[in-house]
Amino acid sequence: MQSLFIEFVYLVLIILALVMVAAKLRLAYPIVLVLGGLGLSFLGLFANLTIDPEIVFLIFLPPLLYEAAWQVSWKEFWKWRRVIASFAFPVVILTSCLVAVVSQALIPGFTLALGFLLGGIVSPPDAVSATTIMRQVKVPRALVSIIEGESLLNDASSLIVFRFALAAVLTGQFHLGQAAGSFVLVIVLGTLIGLGLGLAFYAAHRWLPTTPSIDIVLTLLAPYCMYYAAEHFHYSGVLAVVSGGLLMASRRHTMLSYRSRIEGVNVWSVLGFVLNGLVFLLIGLALPAITRQLDGGLGPAIVYGLLISLVLIVGRLLCSFGAVAFTRFASRFITVADAHPSWKLPIISGWAGMRGVVSLAAALSIPLLTPAGQPFPYRNLILFITFVVILVTLVLQGLTLPWLIRQVGLEDKYTVIPLARQELLIQKKLALVALRYVDEQPGADNPPGDYLQNLRARLQLDAQVLAQALADGHPAEGNTLQRFHRLYLALLDQQRALLHEMNHRMEFDEEVIRKYLAILDLEEYKLREKQLQEAGTA
């Protein structure tokens, strides 16, 4: 156990070094981590380190999904719900069918059930890689929101396909009607379990006398409880985590204190970074063990992996263009977010289909033996093909995606107000609502103390400077200071209320709103710390 822990310490240090290299080379860090793991495997380092599928599924997957759900803009998710849903369910099922047919025809002895099993494994794209690249290159925020939203749901749909295909391989039986009914049941009940536990955790945060440390621990426990509860009843643990995470993320400002929000963001950003880094590095390290277990030779297995990768890339591109065509057709009958989407959009979204964590975890979870005690058919080949698909899509598509984005030159017609102007408008409105609140207080004509006078002068100056920018494109003591602090804290609440109101308007980007909410939390944090310090020295 001690040696295993030390090996993971070394892995984390290697991850940090490789991420710094990726930043220096301006590459998405998942690509560099996979290649780095591959290089370490060739050197024979960490050869004794094996990946337990239960660890990947039960330890890594729930927090990664939960963190992703907290990062997604619910407003953007709802706006693009039809596009996200089409990629998350129909496209995953179509991709699985395509992989099943091609692999059955391509690989000698490969059955249709094994083909669907492989399709369920390799069909879900990994959002971490795509969004990491897209944040480095200028793309419309709407496209990033679609990719992030899709990744939350397609993991669930692909794992459900994988589950039914695995049952078909193990039992030799498959009933379409029964499978379709079970598919719906797994989705609906998994979602309901997630929402139910999400409400329970929301109530604990909101009404129990929690501290920031307790709040953070509860957020760490929540994804595991949601996932385990749903999986215990054989429903979708992924959808339970996603639905519960989205619910709690949308209520973060009512259930968490300013300090819990600040400290929680820091904890989760570090945790997500380390978990993602470990999984991508372990993907590269897994190659030698997978290669050694191949039965039919390395050459044919490489060919199969490359052909399946080609099928996935072409299939996603075709589905992306098909989604645009269907959207244009459906806009004649229903209201859609964009009735005339650009044909440039499916080129980028179709090419952003890198595979990653979920595909590896699903492949590793294939049992070694069937119920009859026989080796699971083609298990090692499926593992190897999955690895090739992850490697090819990450390296080929990941390295060329920035170039493709620049060449396509996709215009942002979805952002109503440019982001720079949004920031100016938000800052101006915050200054005005704060100034109005100060002026409405008793004795506003003769404000007590230098603090309040300075605040008013600063707010007036801020409002004037920001208005112009938009038009152009000694401390007090005792009760006076306490009154100033109380007023300033109430003022921050007024500004928060304004930001939440603005967040309901589609012209403002939720990511920008969250930025200023975080700034207000920091302002409150500084002021509360001053109050504690002054109380301690009184």
Q: Give residue 102's pLDDT.
A: 92
Q: Where on the phi/psi map is residue 175: left (φ > 0), alpha (ψ -120 to 50), or beta? A: beta
CA distance 62 to 58: 7
Residues in CB range of 203: below 8 A, 6 or more apart:
none
Per-residue pLDDT of the chain (538 residues), as tens digits, is 667 778 888 899 999 999 999 888 888 788 888 889 888 888 877 767 766 666 667 888 889 888 888 888 777 888 888 788 777 778 888 888 899 999 999 988 888 889 989 998 998 887 666 777 776 677 777 777 888 888 777 877 888 888 888 888 887 766 666 666 777 888 889 999 999 999 999 999 999 999 989 999 999 999 999 999 998 888 888 889 989 999 998 888 889 888 888 888 889 989 988 988 888 888 788 777 777 777 767 888 899 999 999 999 999 888 888 877 777 777 777 776 666 777 778 888 888 888 877 887 788 788 877 777 788 888 888 988 998 998 898 888 888 888 888 888 777 766 767 777 787 788 788 888 888 887 777 665 555 566 677 777 777 777 776 677 677 664 444 455 567 667 878 888 888 888 888 888 877 888 888 888 888 888 888 777 766 655 544 4
CA distance 11 to 456: 53
pTM of the model: 0.76
Domains of the chain in sequence order:
2-408 (1.20.1530.20), 419-537 (no CATH)
Q: Which amino acid is at 344?
A: K
Q: Give residue 225's pLDDT.
A: 95
Q: Give residue 475's pLDDT.
A: 41
Q: Which of 502, 533, 325 is nearest to 429 (CA)?
A: 502
CA distance 257 to 136: 32
Q: Give residue 444's pLDDT.
A: 56
The one-character DSSP state at 441 is: S
The one-character DSSP state at 56 is: I
